[in-house]
Chain A
Amino acid sequence: MSTVAPHRPLDAAVITARDREDVVVGNEIVRHNRASRLIHWTVAGTFIISLLTGMPIWTPVFGWMAHLFGGLSVARVIHPWAGVAFVIASLFMFFQWLADMHLEPDERDWLGPRLFQYMRYETDDSRVGKYNGGQKLYFWAVSLGTVGLLLSGLLMWFPSAFPRLVIEFAFVIHGVTFILFVVSLVFHVYLGTAAEPGTFRSMIRGTVTRAWARLHHPRWYREVTGEEPRRD
């Protein structure tokens, strides 16, 4: 007699991905548990707010962004606090992922030619673990940049407390760091969506397919599944 549609249970992968990582569920592997995803999107959200409130102050070319917040004077009030929230969220993210981000000696070349080989899909990825060298370098660059943004931002927030020369340095450091952040963010988003299909779901659903893991992170695949990934 009941007209209620039968309850469709959540699939096992989603439930597993709530609190576990690096485990196989059927044809999927959990890459980011819920805590990791929550922290990532908190960092992303606070960064985007900082960006949209900061860029109209940087140059009037981006003045239209201020209208999303009710004008430049509102953006100016939100910007430093959004920045503080971004730094706090980044601190959590730093310790969440630190253990996985130690750059191994044979990954040093990611700083140079290997990064370009990777972008041309020419690298031999068989040694790549959960994160490749480029991702690790991005992690460290962003961490360093966040410190730079925080320190220079605080100086710009309270200029009267410091000599003018120091504030001038802060202007330049804040600007250069911001430019590097945006450029690397564009590639971060591009690689995580359009360039590498199957990646984005790891930050939404938390899981990737076995085939994705085999292609992009073969050593991680081996560690998690105990199977040998195919050498292509």
Chain B
Amino acid sequence: MSVQQNLEIRRSSASVLGSLSGMRSVPTVSKYIDTTTCIGCKACEAACIEWNDLRRVATEQTGTYQTLPTLHAEFWNLIRFNERDFDGGIVWLMRKDQCMHCDEPGCLAACPAPGAIVQYANGIVDVNPDQCIGCKYCETGCPFDVPRFHQTTGKMAKCTLCVDRVSVGLEPACIKACPTGCLQFGTKDDMVAMGVRRVEQLKGNGFANATLYNPEGVHGTGVVTVLAHGDHPEWYNLPADPHVPWGVKLWKKILRPLGAVAIFGAVLGAFAHYTKYGPKEVRGADDPNSNLPEA
């Protein structure tokens, strides 16, 4: 979102602290997606484009009803269509793909620009283009392959969870547009409770492996997804065990402090050497320790 919302910030990229005052208790919000009642109408795609004033991207034929092969800097909400063999027949799966608003966002961990990616107190993860330097590190940090580089602006772009609407008490545009009610919005606790109820229902209806996708690897997501075939998240193009990439963790948590210690240590080491051994002087002929040959 172009303007930082009037919300407290829980975490900010490349910064030690956010801006939590501790005076308010803001519940974490979440989207709820029930893939079993999604009819693939793409109303959410259209609503997302309209509300966020995104430019129209030419559709691409992928062999299915899918609008584009993948997310795009001007297309933040994509219904993914998949067909899989199941129980002697096929299942037709549709899942709304967008930023998952992780509780532990890999994009934020990877981002080197202070304040370019923020996590608001309500859990929404947002790119702040003012601070974004377009380095694409978040692309590597994201376990869901969501952030996209915008060729025109030179900044990263992704779903904001309609933080501008949420911060004034409205539901996100995609939720509002959904005709079947497969999309809901509310507090994370409410959405998880709704998901758990729906999963029980599905299990009763013969979908023994139904789950609520809310992966622990990133401490849960701000988008909880009901999957009828929860034993195969990859059928929905979802990673089985997403987490902040090890390369990003190794860099930020180990190499960064290690590097600072090594660099300052080298400077200190040089000073220590100088004080102990001093300069290796070239001495003149009148010096008893002369390096010069005797005349």
A57 to B111, CA, bound (A): 9
Contact of A120 with B140 in the complex, beta carbons under 8 Å:
no
- Interface: B39 (CB within 8 A): no
A186 to B134, CA, bound (A): 31
Given contacts A175-B259, A183-B266, contact A168 B247 (CB under 8 A): yes
Which residue of the partner chain, among A59, A63, A75, A196, contacts B260 with CB atoms under 8 Å? A59
Q: What is the size category of the interface that chain B forms with chain A? A: 35 or more
Contact of A197 with B255 in the complex, beta carbons under 8 Å:
no
Given contacts A190-B273, A230-B294, contact A172 B247 (CB under 8 A): yes
A168 to B255, CA, bound (A): 13
A164 to B107, CA, bound (A): 13
| Bitwise interface map of B from 272 to 295 toward A, beta carbon under 8 Å scored 1, else 0 | 011001011111100000011110
Which residue of the partner chain, among A57, A190, A228, A230, contacts B135 with CB atoms under 8 Å? A57
Interface residues of A in 35-50 (CB under 8 A from B): none
Closest Cβ–Cβ distance, residue A23 to chain B (whole Å): 20
Chain A, residue nearest B112 (CB):
A57
A63 to B259, CA, bound (A): 15
A197 to B270, CA, bound (A): 15
Contact of B266 with A120 in the complex, beta carbons under 8 Å:
no
- Interface: A215 (CB within 8 A): yes
| Bitwise interface map of B from 50 to 68 toward A, beta carbon under 8 Å scored 1, else 0 | 0000000000000000000
Chain A, residue nearest B140 (CB):
A167
Chain A, residue nearest B14 (CB):
A60
- Interface: B256 (CB within 8 A): yes
Contact of B112 with A58 in the complex, beta carbons under 8 Å:
yes
Which residue of the partner chain, among A58, A160, A230, contacts B136 with CB atoms under 8 Å? A160
Chain B, residue nearest A71 (CB):
B133
Residues of B within 8 A of A195 (CB): 270, 273-274, 277, 279-280
Contact of A160 with B139 in the complex, beta carbons under 8 Å:
yes
Chain B, residue nearest A74 (CB):
B133
A211 to B14, CA, bound (A): 52
Contact of B266 with A63 in the complex, beta carbons under 8 Å:
no
Which residue of the partner chain, among B134, B250, B269, B291, contacts A211 with CB atoms under 8 Å? B291
Contact of B282 with A198 in the complex, beta carbons under 8 Å:
yes
A211 to B284, CA, bound (A): 8
Contact of A76 with B133 in the complex, beta carbons under 8 Å:
yes
- Interface: B258 (CB within 8 A): yes
Closest Cβ–Cβ distance, residue B234 to chain A (whole Å): 16
- Interface: B248 (CB within 8 A): yes
A168 to B251, CA, bound (A): 9
Contact of B247 with A171 in the complex, beta carbons under 8 Å:
yes
Which residue of the partner chain, among A121, A194, A232, contacts B274 with CB atoms under 8 Å? A194
Closest Cβ–Cβ distance, residue B65 to chain A (whole Å): 25
- Interface: A119 (CB within 8 A): yes
Chain A, residue nearest B280 (CB):
A196
- Interface: B26 (CB within 8 A): no
Which residue of the partner chain, among A120, A169, A215, A228, contacts B247 with CB atoms under 8 Å? A169
Residues of A within 8 A of B265 (CB): 183
A57 to B258, CA, bound (A): 16
Interface residues of A in 151-199 (CB under 8 A from B): 156, 159-160, 164-165, 167-169, 171-172, 175-176, 178-179, 182-183, 186-187, 190, 194-198
Residues of B within 8 A of A190 (CB): 270, 273-274
Residues of A within 8 A of B291 (CB): 211, 214-215, 230, 232
| Bitwise interface map of B from 80 to 118 toward A, beta carbon under 8 Å scored 1, else 0 | 000000000000000000000000000000001110000
Residues of A within 8 A of B149 (CB): 160
Given contacts A60-B114, A76-B133, A211-B291, contact A164 B140 (CB under 8 A): yes
Chain B, residue nearest A59 (CB):
B256
Residues of A within 8 A of B277 (CB): 119-121, 195
A75 to B248, CA, bound (A): 21
A56 to B137, CA, bound (A): 14
- Interface: A139 (CB within 8 A): no
- Interface: B15 (CB within 8 A): yes
- 20 pairs of residues in contact across A and B, judged by CB atoms under 8 Å: A59-B260, A63-B114, A73-B134, A76-B133, A165-B247, A167-B140, A167-B247, A168-B140, A171-B251, A176-B255, A183-B262, A186-B269, A194-B279, A195-B270, A196-B280, A197-B281, A209-B282, A211-B283, A214-B293, A229-B293
Chain A contacts to B: CB under 8 angstroms: 56-61, 63, 72-73, 75-76, 119-121, 156, 159-160, 164-165, 167-169, 171-172, 175-176, 178-179, 182-183, 186-187, 190, 194-198, 209, 211-212, 214-216, 227-230, 232
* Top 6 A-B residue pairs of the complex, sorted by shortest distance between their CB atoms: A168-B247, A186-B266, A230-B293, A190-B270, A76-B133, A179-B259
Given contacts A171-B248, A179-B258, A212-B282, 12 further A-B contacts (CB under 8 A): A59-B256, A61-B260, A160-B149, A179-B262, A187-B266, A187-B270, A195-B270, A198-B282, A209-B282, A211-B283, A211-B292, A214-B291
